[in-house]
Amino acid sequence: MRVSVEEVFETVNMTLDHHFDIRTVTLGINLKDCIDRNFDKFSRRLQMRIVEKGRLLNKHAHLIEQKYGIPIINRRIAVTPASLLLEPLPRTATTAVKVAKSLDTAAKKAGIDFIGGFGAMVQKGMTASDENLIDAIPQALSRTDRVCGFLNLASTVAGINMNAVAKCGHILRELAKRSKNGIGCAKMAVFANVPEDNPFMAGAHHGIGEPDFSLNIGISGPGVVRNVVLQNPDCDLTQLSEVIKRTVFKITRAGELIGREMAKLMNVDFGIVDISLAPTTSAGDSVAEIVEAMGVKQMGLPGSTAALAMLVDAVKKGGAMASGNVGGLSGTFIPVSEDSGMIRAVKAGTLSLEKLEALTSVCSVGLDMFAVPGDTPAEVISSIIVDELAIGVINNKTTSVRVIPVPGKKYGDIVHFGGLLGSAPIMKVAKTASPKFIARRGRIPSPIQALRN
């Protein structure tokens, strides 16, 4: 693929004026061959590999930034799901926490922002190792700084593991209690149909179908897309979709160029470009404001779902035209705390939790980075999770939940997380939901489309 100098300069202008950046370069690392029944040997191998490759990632990310002038905001590592690494080790919470601390130490030594993969694939059932890891999550994520966790609780092929869903409400409440303002829950995502090559935290991990090493790129450009929408206030929606598609094509070409060059320099496989629009709290860098620029008075009002669906479709079409390696989540993020437009909509009352769930039926990721009162019962949290997973299972798409029950906060309060995590208005949730439904446990069977093979 040839990329012209003109395209590079155009992308640099997007960077200077409209917050375009490479949101993350994430190196996937296979750790299965580091497994050992002796924990000290295992930990040494794990840390040596992560530190070596992490420093290399940082070095080349810095060189690429200098060469093209496009910021690379985060440098991250994703590893083999930790429940697999724990299989031969003693099945105690202490052991699981020690593995998390080893990952954390390696990430710090390598200068890596976050390391993902402390999780398990439990969509159909849980091994003893899986259960041990899940039970250790509150301790592990509250005692580490850079480790992120994930659980895949459902898939279109397997259905929904309600035993694991029931556990999650309690696990997240306990994790929130152990961390300031519940911030530990920002490092934990639960999924339906989790992709193996997702570069974004908290759900990133290096799947078992991946090579020893692969470099995945997560691009971002809500500010760029918002700008072109504002420049076309009178065109019809067919034309507007075309404008957005062409813009995302240019953004994706830049991500493809950087990803391939970094992978070549590091002598690793180039994985995918995730074309998701990932917002920040910076002025103008908002997905909600794109929807509003399209003509919706405020995010959450009637028309929001259709506008968001059109945006996601145009993003995917533009990205698919620009790269043969599109993957990960690829679409549009709508995290509440990280998007200034979403925050305003919640404060104004136009965006409720129920409307947010409706929006997730057409966008990527799902219910992301939203805060609820700290006294929200565990069964309510589990009920919110299973509703979102059901959307993913039935529609054969990835959905996720990152919910933060903030201790001591009630509906209407604001919690400030700082940095990229932003601020979150505490959203209204029911005090009771489906206790008997959650208590049934078992597994919700997969839909009939799972039998296509």
Q: What digits encode the pLDDT tens for the residues 329-372? A: 888 889 999 899 999 999 999 999 999 999 999 987 899 999 99
CATH assignment at residue 70? 3.20.70.20
Share of the chain above pLDDT 70, in %: 95
**Joined tokens for residue 218:** 């997560």
Q: What is the pTM of this model?
A: 0.92
Lowest mean pLDDT among 10-24, 256-270, 431-445: 10-24
Task: Please report which confidence band the pLDDT of residue 14 belongs to, taking 50, 70 and 90 as the band edges.
Answer: low
Q: How far apart are CA 308 and CA 299, in angstroms?
A: 10
Residue 358 lies in a domain: no
**pLDDT tens, position by position, 132-190:** 999 999 999 999 999 999 999 999 999 999 999 999 999 999 999 999 999 999 999 99
**pLDDT tens, position by position, 229-286:** 999 999 999 999 999 998 898 888 888 888 899 999 999 999 999 888 888 777 778 9
Do the beta carbons of residue 277 and residue 332 sit within 8 Å?
yes
Residue 84 lies in a domain: yes
Angle in degrees, 0-180, between the axes of helices 5-18 and 39-68, rounded to the nearest 10? 100
Residue 260 lies in a domain: no
Lowest mean pLDDT among 87-96, 119-128, 249-258, 409-418: 249-258
Neighbours of 99 (CB within 10 A): 23
* Exposed e or buried b per residue across 37-65, where buried means at least 16 C-beta atoms within 10 angstroms of its C-beta: eeeeebbeebbebbbebbebbbebbeebe
Share of the chain above pLDDT 90, in %: 72
Residue 218 lies in a domain: no
Residue 55 lies in a domain: yes
When divided into structural domains, the chain yields a total of 1
Instruction: Answer whether residue 47 shows pLDDT above 80.
Output: yes
Residue 124 CA, chain-centre distance (Å), reads 22
Domain extent for 119: 24-192
* Cβ-Cβ contacts under 8 Å for 84 (sequence gap 6 or more): 32, 35, 129, 208
- Across residues 74-82, what is the average pLDDT? 95
Task: Please report which confidence band the pLDDT of residue 4 belongs to, taking 50, 70 and 90 as the band edges.
Answer: low
Residue 225 lies in a domain: no
**Joined tokens for residue 1:** 């693929």
* Cβ-Cβ contacts under 8 Å for 316 (sequence gap 6 or more): 275, 326, 330, 331
The one-letter amino acid code at 363 reads: C
Residue 215 lies in a domain: no
State residue 1's pLDDT score: 47
**pLDDT tens, position by position, 100-112:** 999 999 999 999 9
Task: Please report which confidence band the pLDDT of residue 11 belongs to, taking 50, 70 and 90 as the band edges.
Answer: low
Q: Concatenated DSSP letters for 125-148?
A: ---HHHHHHHHHHHHHHHS-SSEE
Q: How far is CA 216 from CA 59, 210, 415, in A?
A: 16, 11, 32
**Joined tokens for residue 84:** 């697999």
Residue 266 lies in a domain: no
Task: Please report which confidence band the pLDDT of residue 2 belongs to, taking 50, 70 and 90 as the band edges.
Answer: low
